[in-house]
Amino acid sequence: MSNAVDNIFGPRVPMDEFRAHRGRYLLPSVLLALAGSILVASLFLPYWKMTLHAPQYPKGLHVYATLTGISGDVNEIDGLNHYIGMRPLREAAQFEKANAVMLIGAVATLLLAAMLIHNRWAALLALPTVLFPLGFLLDLQYWLATFGTNLDPKAALSSSIKPFIPPVLGVGTIGQFKTVAVASDGLWLAAAASFVALVALWFHRRAYKPLVDAQSAARGRVSEVPHVMA
């Protein structure tokens, strides 16, 4: 049973070793907790901003996407999109928006669990945080592509607009319209959480790999004893 627990959680730090190098063992946990806090904070900020430049709107129309919904000039943009047969923006990513709070909570909880793990499994628990910004962009790009390539053929201007894929970041052109999409504060915070988690894993490996190696070496010596005695 002890070996099974050690395989999951990794070696425990001897108290004398912990007292002698307290900072070495506390730093990974502090950084993992910080990464989780930053990720949770990102939930309350826009992740993405898109500006639509149209002749009749010289100042542009703006849409802001958080993990739980969208805001800004949504109705105006939906009105323009209606003529080319694009579905309303609020219909996109309904499952993701409904479960965003739970998802962020789960990802942050995995980081807290990684604080208890003293072997390579900690990296697996931190992986969702590391990949979260990329996952958001890929999911958003999927919905942009889905909406842009599934236009209603019965729309008034359907014959003048071919299916298109707006870029999730950067500049796109749709007929006489131009879109400019950029990362917003929430996504930058999520990227910061990803970076902090990677730094935490580096310090985690530096702290605990010598203990894991020593544990493996000790088990190897124990397994050799019966063979030697025989």
Q: Convert the pLDDT of each residue in 57-93 to its tens digit.
A: 889 999 999 999 999 999 999 998 888 899 999 999 9
State the Cα–Cα distance between residues 221 and 227, nearest whole angstrom: 10
Per-residue pLDDT tens over the stretch 132-180: 999 999 999 999 999 999 988 888 877 778 888 989 999 998 878 899 9
| Structure-token pair, residue 100 | 């965003």
Per the DSSP assignment, residues forming a β-bridge with 220 are none
Q: How many CB atoms lie within 10 A of CB 230?
A: 5
5 has a pLDDT exceeding 70: no
User: How many Å apart are CA 127 and CA 171, to the nearest integer?
Assistant: 30
In this structure, of 5-9, 85-89, 97-101, 205-209, the range with the lowest mean pLDDT score is 5-9
Domain 2-219 has CATH 1.20.140: yes
Q: Tell me the pTM.
A: 0.89
Q: If you compute the radius of gyration of the chain from its CA atoms, what whole number of angstroms results?
A: 25
**Percent of the chain clearing pLDDT 90 (strictly above):** 65
Structure confidence by residue, pLDDT tens digits, 11-32: 888 889 888 888 999 999 999 9
pLDDT for position 229: 45
Contact between 164 and 174 (Cβ < 8 Å): yes
220 pLDDT band, cuts 50/70/90, is: low
Residue 1's pLDDT is what?
Answer: 47
Give residue 219's pLDDT. Answer: 67
